[in-house]
Structure formats: structure tokens, C-alpha cells
Amino acid sequence: MQIMSERHPFLSEAWIGAVRALRQEYADRIPESPPPARVNVIVTGSPHQDGDLLGHIDTTGGQVLVETGHLDSPELTITLDYDTAYTLFVNRDPQAGMQAFFSGKILVEGDVSKLLALQGQAAMQPATAEVAELYERLDALTQR
């Protein structure tokens, strides 16, 4: 299956908008029951904006909600650079993520058990045809 899509630079406003649309399109097709967590994310060194990109991941509603801006009272805050974020979110390379964590490229403040629970859930979740299709479409719209 060939997927045609306009490509956008990773973490640019256009990319974030396209990812929001994908999330809504697949919301009913990908069952999720992640462990509850409220995580703020800071991405440094993005070539597509001035300053740090502030985002969050909230799984307390039963789905993985990734959005811009910070949550009040997060359980965890993760700081990482743009290249590491690309490796984790686009390449989906958990081994590179662990290497980045142990080398200090990922800084974690707060309840680290929340991060481990989310990582464990992602590793154990079976790759369905819908998830594979979603990742293929995400890859098609992402440029470095």
C-alpha cells in the first residue's frame, strides 16, 4: 500500500497538526489501555522554533494523548534534545532510548516508575495491522 501525504519537518507546527489529525482518525481503531501517567516533555534544540518545545503525554483518560504545552502537576518531566526525540518518536528505537537515558541525553525528574510502566506497556503491546498502518502514515508525513 502506497501512502501519499505531504511531509512536514518533525515537531514543526504543521507536523504536530498532521499528527493530531492522524490520532483522531485512528482513535476508535486502536484500543489502548496504558498505565495512567501525566508526563511533561521538554525538547531542546528544535530547528523549527525558537526556544524549547513544551509538550505533554497524558494517559489518565485511557488513551495516549500527546499534546503541546505543559500539564499542571505532572508526575514526571522528561527533557531531551531534538535528535533523541526523533529517534524515540519517529524511529521508535527503544534500545537507542535506553542508551540516551544512560548517557544523560534524557533527563528525568519525578516518578520514574511511571516512565518504566509506559515503556513496558509499549514493549508488550502487540503490533496490529492498524498500528502498523498508523506508523507507516506517520513515517510518510515526517521529514527530518
At residue 124, the pLDDT reads 57
Long-range CB contacts for residues 116-119, cutoff 8 Å, separation at least 24:
117/35, 117/37, 118/34, 118/35, 118/37, 118/39, 118/57, 118/59, 119/94
More confident residue, 25 or 97: 25
What is the structure's pLDDT at 122? 64
Q: Where is pLDDT greater, at 9 or 119?
A: 9
User: Torsion over CA of 44, 50, 51 and 53, rounded to 10 degrees?
Assistant: -60
- Tell me yes or no: is domain 8-124 CATH 3.30.1050.10: yes
Higher pLDDT, 1 or 46: 46
- Enumerate residues 6+ apart whose C-beta is below 8 A from 127: none
Instruction: Give residue-wise pLDDT tens across range 77-115.
Output: 999 999 999 998 888 887 888 899 899 999 999 998 888
At residue 1, the pLDDT reads 43
**Are the CB atoms for 106 and 79 separated by under 8 Å?**
yes
User: pTM of this prediction?
Assistant: 0.85
Q: What is the mean pLDDT of residues 57-83?
A: 92
Count of C-beta atoms within a 10 Å radius of residue 81 = 17
The ranges assigned to domains in the chain are: 8-124
Q: Tally the C-alpha atoms within 13 A of residue 1's C-alpha that lie toward its C-beta.
A: 9
Mean pLDDT computed over 16-44? 88
119: confidence class by pLDDT, cuts 50, 70, 90: confident
Contacts of 94 (CB under 8 A, 6+ apart): 119, 122, 123
| Residues comprising the chain, all counted | 144
Which band of pLDDT confidence, cut at 50, 70 and 90, is reported for residue 2? Answer: very low
